[in-house]
Amino acid sequence: MSVTSPAAPESHLFSALAMGGMHFPNRIVVSPMCQYSARDGVANDWHLQHLMQLAMSGAGLVMVEATAVDARGRITHGCLGLYSDAAEAALSRVLQAARAVAAPSTRFGIQLGHAGRKGSAQVPWEGGGPLKAGGDGGAPWRCAAPSALPFAPDWHTPEALDEAGIEGLVEAYVDAARRAVRLGFDVIELHCAHGYLLHQFQSPLSNRRDDAWGGDAAGRDRLPLHIARRLHEQVPGSRVLGARITGTDWAEGGLGVDDAVRLAQGLKDIGFGYVCVSSGFVVRGERIPFGPGFQVGLAAQVRRRSGIATRAVGGISEPAQAAAIVASGQADQVALARPFLADPRWVWRAAETLGITPYYPPPYRRAAGLRKPAMAADA
């Protein structure tokens, strides 16, 4: 898929972006953010208000949180899923409401994933550790993984997937993608990062298999690329396929940026439009250098070496910082998560800071310009 932008935009951050036949009004993305508030994968009123307020932001793309392709692919009992008719119907209600309050050009995407050995966990505000039998967080379940290796010594030992299990997993991804297409999502993203199942297959720290789904780099990449091909067969060319990938495991013997470039090239060859470059979390105890834009350099390398459009994420919070990332060619989009939780109107602030008129929903137009004095005082 080609990536183009108009000549001489007022601001690179607010310039239009085309991936294939789909246009995005700006380069700002609301990152997928787990809410841990569903019941058996089914969205509710919490998700309704969450997505509606983010939809009003004016971001070019709003991503729904990591959504499990089957029940045991959830991280917690509260994680969103797209593996049942009930889950599909509930998410349809949420998406329709979000579209109704969004700018006409805002796009919506969904991130499909599977927690693998990091599933059957408590919600973060209850500690985030593995569920225990008889505990308050709900009944634990047997997790799936490439190898029977726990995430950490105090975590449960997962079941190593056999051929039938892998086949069932692939079909679960395909079924979830079909549901996402029916729901009308513009973007469908494959989650291959953060230590979840497809990342577990890629990383030598978690995949110790000696069959076709492990061993060398080609074997460890095989499952993510196989699922990517199956999704490409199911998703119309008018939609955009992407993936969140791992730039580095931040651990000795783990994945590095060369592995990210190789996977990105494979996804590009299949027909994926972009990759979002994240990192870490496949094992406990990595030394991750958290800080402003700490993963941007990884996205820049993947973009330069693979030629695929990239999205930078992690430690991006200020409008000038986001604009500089795009203007310097380090990434084609920037994704923000916690800044949007703190300020769902972040895009309005960014536009006014950069001298651009943002999109305001008509009932909120009276708020135009009210943020400028606060920003000037902060500066």
Give mean pLDDT, residues 17-27.
93
Give mean pLDDT, residues 344-361.
92
* pLDDT at position 135: 82
**Please, where are the H alpha helices in 193-256?**
197-202, 217-234
pTM for the model stands at: 0.94
Q: How confident is the model at residue 8 (pLDDT cuts 50, 70, 90)?
A: very low
Give mean pLDDT, residues 111-118.
98
**Looking at the predicted structure, is the pLDDT value of residue 254 above 70?**
yes
Task: Please tell me the distance from the alpha carbon of residue 49 to that of residue 287, in angstroms, as a whole number.
Answer: 36
Q: How confident is the model at residue 376 (pLDDT cuts 50, 70, 90)?
A: very low
* pLDDT at position 186: 98
**Please, where are the H alpha helices in 163-253?**
163-183, 197-202, 217-234
Domain that holds residue 136: 3-378
* pLDDT at position 137: 82
* pLDDT at position 339: 97
Share of the chain above pLDDT 90, in %: 89
**Looking at the predicted structure, is the pLDDT value of residue 374 above 90?**
no
Give mean pLDDT, residues 353-376.
78
User: Into how many domains does the chain fold?
Assistant: 1
Catalytic annotation, residues: 196
**Looking at the predicted structure, is the pLDDT value of residue 9 above 70?**
no
In this predicted model, which residue has the larger pLDDT, 370 or 114?
114
Contact criterion met (CB below 8 Å) for 246 and 203: yes
Give mean pLDDT, residues 199-207.
98
Give mean pLDDT, residues 9-15.
78
SS3 245: strand
* pLDDT at position 4: 42
The CATH number that applies at residue 69 is: 3.20.20.70
Task: Please tell me the distance from the alpha carbon of residue 79 to that of residue 39, in angstroms, as a whole number.
Answer: 8
* pLDDT at position 371: 63
Q: How many CA atoms lie within 13 A of 159 on its CB side?
A: 13
Task: Please tell me the distance from the alpha carbon of residue 327 to that of residue 80, in angstroms, as a whole number.
Answer: 35
Contacts of residue 359, defined as CB under 8 A and 6 or more positions apart, other chains included, come to 25, 58, 103, 347
Give mean pLDDT, residues 222-243.
97
* pLDDT at position 1: 39
- What's the pLDDT tens digit per position in 256-282? 999 999 999 999 999 999 999 999 999
How does the average pLDDT of the chain come out, rounded? Answer: 94
* pLDDT at position 372: 58
